Structure 1
Amino acid sequence: MQTELDRIDRQLVHALQDDARLTSGELAQMAHLSQSPCWRRVKRLEDDGVIRGYHAVLNRRALGFGVLAFVMVGIDHQTEVSSVAFEEAVCAIPEVVMFHGISGPEDFLLVVVARDLDAYSELLQRRLHRLPGVRHVRTHFSLQEFKGQVGGLPVPLG
């Protein structure tokens, strides 16, 4: 369900998306509100699920993850039991940083990080190919990132 956002809500969301470390005082000043009403607005945005959390954006390369792979997975069949088993198994793999059910010839898209190609090959052979119900796996490697998660969603301010 979509939450209606007024101009001030959009300003707050935009500012927090750019810098989640802003204090409620800084947010209030930016939105031309006093601190209490500003805090209540942010709390409502959190409660309504518009703001899902606050996270540090980490540099995967600085942490030793030189490989970013987009992994397309097709599974044999989807029943509720097999789907749940597959989803739980994928979610338990720390190197899978994003996981989506998709339309098209494959059923799922996984975004995977690994130290290097050897580490990815090991993950592919020992974990991904052994996931419940996997029919086939196709990997596309990122060669260069032009726009990643930093910057977030477009929030119209007008």
Structure 2
Amino acid sequence: MKSTTKFLDKSRPDDAGHVELDRTDKAILRALQKDASISNVALAAKVNLSAPACLRRVERLKSLGLIRGIVALLNAPALDAGMVVIIGVVLDRSTPESFAAFEKAAQNVSGCMECHVVTGEFDYFMMLRTRDSESFNRLHAEQLLYLPGVRQIRTFMVLKQVFSSTQIAI
């Protein structure tokens, strides 16, 4: 029995266009998540395809938006960004304008790697990397305090990263 998963086909304008992923597509995605620098020939051998067929599938997965890019995962501590800080943000107003202003400004915060709208006691969680507590204090005083519409900022300095993954379960 053939195992397939359906995903929205971004190349089609209507919501009815779904693409099915078979075992080979999933195997390609899993392999690329582990090592995106793998050669097409090695990837093809790993998923039991010819090199041209494998390349066509990878290009198709890219065109569907399932592969958004190929990146290098850097050693943050070696690049003076070893401290992870999670920041909970509460805005003073819950209006579309205040959310938009905050989101635009948050993209310019030094070291900010993620920003999420959340439910619960906070409006946003931000995750940033910085060198140490001194550099974070400077960032807090020079940038975070000036984000538009912020009523409260709560800071959580990560003491130990138990694990981190960039891989999505497929």
Counterpart selection for 2:104 from 70, 75, 88 = 88
Trace 1:104-119 onto structure 2 (pairs within 5 A).
Answer: 104-119=120-135
Aligned length: 154
Give the Cα–Cα distance (whole angstroms) in 1 for the partners of residues 96 and 132 of structure 2. Answer: 35
| 2:169 is the alignment partner of 1:154 | yes
Answer 1 or 2: higher relative contact order, Cα 8 Å, separation at least 6: 1
TM-score by length of 2: 0.85
Structure 1 stretches of 5 or more lacking a match? none
CA contact (8 A) 2:110 2:139 kept: no
Deviations 1:70-112 (A, max 9, x none): 1000101132322222111111123101111111110101001
Give the Cα–Cα distance (whole angstroms) in 1 for the partners of residues 138 and 165 of structure 2. Answer: 26
TM-score by length of 1: 0.91
| 2:148 is the alignment partner of 1:132 | yes
**Equivalent in the alignment of 1:10:** 26
Q: Which amino acid aligns with 2:98?
A: S
More displaced 10-residue stretch of structure 1: 103-112 or 36-45 = 36-45
Give the ranges of 4+ consecutive aligned residues of structure 1 lying more than 4 Å apart after TM superposition: none
Structure 2 stretches of 5 or more lacking a match? 1-6, 9-18
Trace 1:12-27 onto structure 2 (pairs within 5 A).
Answer: 12-27=28-43
Deviations 1:126-151 (A, max 9, x none): 2112101001000111111111135x
Deviations 1:9-56 (A, max 9, x none): 111000000000011111111111111221111111111121111111
2:116 counterpart SS class: strand
RMSD: 1.4
**Equivalent in the alignment of 1:35:** 51
Counterpart selection for 2:115 from 99, 103, 114 = 99
Deviations 1:115-134 (A, max 9, x none): 11111011112211210100
1:129 counterpart SS class: helix
More displaced 10-residue stretch of structure 1: 43-52 or 131-140 = 43-52
